[in-house]
Amino acid sequence: MNDHIDHDEDGAEAGPVQEPRLWQGNGWTARVIKNEDDEGWAVAMIKDGEPEPALVGPWTMGRDKKNPKPLDVNAFNTLVKTASEVIRRHEQHLHAILHKNLMVWTEAHGNLKVTLDIVPEDDDPYGMLAATDEMSEQLARVRVPASFKLTQASATAWIESGFRAPRA
């Protein structure tokens, strides 16, 4: 997506658009759109360079109860903060899904940190299972199917097998 910077008649940049239904700045575009589900309005927040909105939410009607309330700098800044938080939470959730770890106590090695990192490649997703001791020395690292579930039982079984790559 382009940066929506207008140009005047001479071709010089006129700066970001800041109109009642379209506002740009801080790496974001807010666009007030007709809500297709009812007679109201919605606002879509699109991060520069992204094809889809990060956030679409209801937008307030104007005083005439027919047209949308115009965007302004305060509303835009609030929308940027909210949309940024949505993205941050999504990234945290994705990280939690792709990166798991737990501690396992063993007679031979003491406390081990076992991690599973999923590599979400389109053609061949997989996981990397690793064991690290209390001195941060990696004892083992093996490739596992992306479907591998890291649990206390699966980690213990892997350690007891001598760190042989488990099957799905």
> Can you tell me the distance from the alpha carbon of 141 to that of 22, in angstroms, rounded to the nearest whole number?
51
> Can you tell me the distance from the alpha carbon of 59 to that of 72, in angstroms, rounded to the nearest whole number?
13
In the chain, beta strands by DSSP E: 5-7, 13-16, 22-25, 28-34, 41-47, 55-59, 99-106, 110-119, 126-132, 138-145
Statement: the pTM of the whole predicted model exceeds 0.75: no
Per-residue tens of pLDDT for the chain, all 168 residues? 444 444 445 544 556 889 999 999 999 999 999 987 777 899 999 999 999 999 999 999 888 888 899 999 999 999 999 999 999 999 999 999 899 999 999 998 999 999 999 998 889 999 999 999 999 999 999 999 999 999 999 999 999 999 998 875
Q: Domain ranges in the chain?
A: 5-71, 98-160
